[in-house]
Structure 1
Amino acid sequence: MNIASRTVSQPVPQPVFSRRFGSGPRPVLALHCSLAHSGTWRGVAAELSEEATLTAFDLLTHGKSPDWDQQGDFQDRNVAAGLSLLSQPMDLVGHSFGATVALQMALRRPDLVRSLTLIEPVFFAAAEDVGLLRDLKEQSRPFTEALMAGDPALAARLFNRMWSSGAPKWPDLTETTRAAMVRAIEIVPACDPAVHTDRGGLLAPGGADCLAMPILLLHGSETNPVIPSVNAGLLRQLPNARVAVIQGAGHMVSISHPAEVAAALRSLWST
């Protein structure tokens, strides 16, 4: 698999690091989840290496990208960085918080998004079951309390425990990986306005009308129950969307089940 890395220096508020996998004819842009990095797409990219050239970038405060400078909105800053990489119509794929960034990118430049895949999107504002949102708040309490107490290492470990189904547990991670997660954990609260509220009006009548491209809403069968509820809510709003479930997978499905994710992408792209 060919891998090329570069730093994006387009006129965006903060430049970000990106890398490229594969050499296939289909251009794809992929966005990772919180506390991860662009390299987590290696497995999916390897499955698609002859079909697609996959570009992935590190969100701010992740991987080799700089720390967010606390200016503006965290999601908006990453949307701007992502849009700087959309030089032609591409297939857009996002996982977890990266899926919420991808969704906003598609809303702003639908003309440059050939298809949109949202894997385990954490756009909780779209969830149909408010009871599940209350459950999620309770599940998040230990992580939130650790962060407020000034213990980012414990907060990162608890956050990883909450969302890492289908991926290595904290004790099995390398010291470098754990340090990267501790670095990124501070920005999780900054994501709350983007994931808990419908700031862009997507859920309002007609708010998603511009998203006419094929859309895949993908989640694992063993994920947190709030995610299928989010996908059900999005399915009602998005005009050309479908839901697919990968059996046996949890929230980290793009890492744990790359072959199945690649197969789902092929199915979408063939429509």
Structure 2
Amino acid sequence: MAEYVQVGAVRTWYDVHGDGDPFVLLHGGMVDARWFEPNLGALAERFRVYTPDLRSHGHTPDVEGPITFHLMADDTIGFIERVVGGPTDLGGHSVGAFVSLLVAMRRPDLVKRLVLMSCGFSKEGETVPDAPWDVDMIVQYLGPAYAEVSPDGAEHFRVVATKIGELAAKEPHLTPAELARVAHRTLLMVADDDIVTLPHLVQMYGAMPNAELAVVPGTSHFMTQEKPELVNALLLDFLGRDPVPTVAPIRRAQPDGED
């Protein structure tokens, strides 16, 4: 059911998988919706999964100007309003996760539950925050997949990789106080050997009042491909049921009238 929709200045490509309650799932930087191929079969059995390609990624053409998290959040808000038509579960991986977080902060009415995979909230949380951005290596490694589907052609990937490098040099930069205002029930999922440090994720978990934390053992930033069955099980457990009343809660708020 893949098709395009005009969202502002961006001709956004998206696909839809399955039936059920909506779940919008956003890929990371310099890849596209195919990133979630190992996960879509299981998710589509329970949900209607929307997988748009972000601006300048995959089938979605580039547009003039920089790529920023706030512009991608604008795009996603427009996509939810135009295509989904109302509140949805929202999640993503890496860049797509931070975009999802911004959408939840700016338009909480459009988000039911939030899934953030391999996502920090500031540059300080990155494992190697000052790593050089090697465009040549990125083009060599990720360029062939881009060339398979991009309407802009293989040579344009260098432009996109440069724009993402400019974004990565400055963002993200939220604070724990800003995270504390995100009231949505949120799953934070991270690999135990990710580009985001575990102490940073624990800080993020502590700042978000309704967060749940999952660490996928024996994986890297590619955990959705490395252990898809485990990732899928965690996603379906979170999205498929209400929170379990724990026996000995410490950080979790209790409803009024309960001990």
TM bin (shorter chain): 0.7 to 0.9
Letter in 2 for 1:50: E
Q: Which of 11, 14, 18 is the equivalent residue of 2:10?
A: 14
Q: 1:177 to 1:252 in 2, by over 3 A?
A: farther
Q: 1:126 to 1:203 in 2, by over 3 A?
A: farther
Q: Secondary structure at the match of 1:186?
A: helix
Contact 1:33 1:97 in 2 (8 A): yes
Q: 1:177 to 1:98 in 2, by over 3 A?
A: same
Contact 1:211 1:239 in 2 (8 A): yes
Contact 2:58 2:146 in 1 (8 A): no
Letter in 1 for 2:223: V
How far did 1:183 drift?
A: 5.2
Q: 1:236 to 1:194 in 2, by over 3 A?
A: farther
Query: In 2, Cα distance between the equivalents of 1:156 and 1:43?
Result: 24
- Determine if the alignment matches structure 1 residue 5 to structure 2 residue 6: no
Q: Which of 27, 38, 47 is the equivalent residue of 1:43?
A: 38
Give the alignment of 1:110-149 within 5 angstroms.
110-125=108-123, 127=125, 135-137=128-130, 140-141=131-132, 144=133, 146=134
Q: Which residue of 1 aligns with 2:74?
A: 80
Give the alignment of 1:22-171 within 5 angstroms.
22-23=18-19, 25-70=20-65, 74-86=68-80, 87-125=85-123, 127=125, 135-137=128-130, 140-141=131-132, 144=133, 146=134, 152-157=135-140
Query: In 2, Cα distance between the equivalents of 1:110 and 1:74?
Result: 20
Query: In 2, Cα distance between the equivalents of 1:77 and 1:15?
Result: 14
TM-score (norm 2): 0.79
Structure 2 alignment gaps of length 5 or more: 243-259
How far did 1:26 drift?
A: 2.0
TM-score (norm 1): 0.75
Contact 1:68 1:74 in 2 (8 A): no
CA RMSD for the aligned pairs? 2.7
Q: Using the aligned pairs only, state the percent identity.
A: 22
Letter in 2 for 1:17: W
Aligned residues: 232
Q: Secondary structure at the match of 1:114?
A: strand
Q: Which residue of 1 aligns with 2:162?
A: 186
Deviation readout 1:3-32 (Å, 9 max, x if unpaired) = x1111214x232311111222x12100110
